Chains A and B, each alone.
Chain A
Amino acid sequence: MLEDLSQYILDIAENSAKANARQVLIELIVDNSKNLVVLRVLDDGCGMDEDLLKKVEDPFTTTRKERRVGLGIPFLKQAALACEGFFKITSERGKGTIVEAGFRKDHVDCPPLGDIASTIATLIMGWPDCRWIFHYELDDSSFTLDLDDLLGYLEDRELLKSPKVVLWIKEYVQENISLLHGKEGGDGIA
Chain B
Amino acid sequence: MVLPKIRNLEDLRKLKEEAKDLTSARSGGRKKIIVGMGTCGIAAGAREVMTAILSELDKRGIKDVAVETTGCIGMCQHEPLVDIIRPGEPRVTYGNVKPEDVSRIITEHLINGNIVWEKVIGRTD
What residues make up the interface of A, taking CB atoms closer than 8 Å to B? Answer: 2-3, 7, 10-11, 14, 18, 64, 66-67, 70-72, 75, 115, 118-119, 121-122, 125-127, 149-150, 153-156, 158-159, 161-168, 170-172, 175, 179
What residues make up the interface of B, taking CB atoms closer than 8 Å to A? Answer: 6-7, 9-13, 15-16, 18-20, 22-23, 26, 35, 37-40, 42-43, 47-48, 50-51, 53-55, 57-58, 63, 66-69, 71-74, 76
The CA-CA distance from A118 to B45 in the complex, in Å, is 11
Residues on the A chain within 8 Å of B7, using CB: 168, 171-172, 175
Residues on the B chain within 8 Å of A171, using CB: 7
Q: What is the interface of chain A mostly: helix, strand, loop, or mixed?
A: helix
Residues B73 and A66 in contact, CB atoms below 8 Å apart: yes
Number of A-B contacts (CB under 8 A): 109
Residues on the B chain within 8 Å of A66, using CB: 72-74
Contact of B16 among A155, A163, A167 (CB under 8 A): A155
Chain B nearest Cβ from A5, distance in angstroms:
12
The CA-CA distance from A179 to B35 in the complex, in Å, is 31
Residues B54 and A175 in contact, CB atoms below 8 Å apart: no
The CA-CA distance from A98 to B73 in the complex, in Å, is 25
Residues A150 and B9 in contact, CB atoms below 8 Å apart: yes
